[in-house]
A = this chain, B = another copy of it.
Amino acid sequence: MSEFDIAKIAAKALKGDTVAVSKLIRMAEEEDPQVYAALKHLYKHTGRAYIIGITGLPGSGKSTIVNFLIKHFRDVGKSVGVIAVDPSSPLTSGAILGDRVRMLEHSKDSGVFIKSLATRGTYGGLSRSTLQIANIMDAMGKDIILIETVGVGQTEASIMNSAHTTVLVLVPEMGDYVQTIKAGVLEIGDIFVINKTDKRDPAELKSNIESLIRHNSQSSSGKFWEQKIILTSGLLKTGLDELTAAIDEHQVFFNDHMKEQYLEKRLVQEIEDEVLNHFIAFCRKNLKEMILQEDLMAAGAIEEKNPYRISERIIEKLLNLIKE
């Protein structure tokens, strides 16, 4: 596609053309380097959306919470983009469970744009794609962007870094989990939701988290956000208004105290992502053919298959390609 075509698609996406938006999002998902040309045009129209990250282990009822939030924000007249980073993505295409299906029902509403990400991307690919898609949804005019991820692994933590407000969804059974990732829980959650409180008493987990928070606030200096714990039941539909109130409150705090620092951190992240991606894409484009030429499975001494020597040769070839 020519730079001109990309600019045309970007212009259409800005007007909210969902075909154009879908095309750009697919390019971001497939790590197509041409998506940068589009993002270059779109960038000046970003910065208006509020990004909320929702994370938690499978079985915590995250999708129910996400569904509720979609409905809530639509009810108050806001448009919503959803990026669901699918749990089983690294391995195979994800199972579609009940709540995910219910989420899809929102997609009949033109004020809602939902993208499920199931890329196998490595080398930061998944978190880079997510950030790019958030920018695309932002530029197309979505007021709220919900990013749903699973757990608090490496990739998830880096995705959550780009959210303005992060919500960690737990269930009362997850006491062990919280103990193990103690520090992780504190760093990632602006708001803790203890969900499925109809099934089991949340008191123990709640006091558990409270003691972690107390410890945290003592060691902080200057302005800090007092992390909230919200008890919810998706089944009984309790606690959900408290959740949206807490999100509103955090948004005010964010705008007053965290915005500048966030913007700088995110800019640095995006620049680093794009630069590294350029070189990663360049390597990948040429690697397959170069590795094939090495004929790895041919008979020969183990030394001829030394990946550390082979990679040296290939690096040399790639550098020569750049110098040409």
Q: List A residues at the B interface (Cβ < 8 Å).
A: 36, 39-40, 43-44, 47, 57-59, 87-95, 97, 121-124, 126-127, 150-158, 173-174, 176-177, 179-184, 187-188, 260, 263-264, 267-268, 270-272, 274-276, 278-280, 282-283, 287, 291, 294, 296-297, 302-303, 305-312, 314-315, 318-319, 322-323
Contacts and interface: CB of A to CB of B under 8 A. Distances in A.
Contact of A176 (B58, B154, B311, B322): B58
Contacts of A311: 36, 270-271, 274-275, 278
B318 A291 contact: no
Given A87-B184, A275-B287, 10 more contacts: A43-B303, A88-B182, A88-B184, A92-B183, A123-B124, A126-B154, A154-B154, A271-B291, A271-B307, A276-B283
A84 B92 CA distance: 25
A90 B276 contact: no
Given A123-B276, A173-B173, A271-B307, A154 B155 contact: yes
Contacts of A156: 90, 153
B307 A287 contact: no
Q: Which of A122, A187, A268, A318 has the most CB of B within 10 A?
A: A122
Contacts of A44: 302-303, 306
B307 A153 contact: no
Given A179-B95, A183-B93, A278-B315, A307 B43 contact: yes
A307 B274 contact: yes
A271 B306 CA distance: 9
6 contacts: A40-B309, A91-B157, A93-B183, A267-B307, A274-B308, A275-B315
Nearest to A278: B315
Contact of A314 (B40, B151, B271, B312): B271
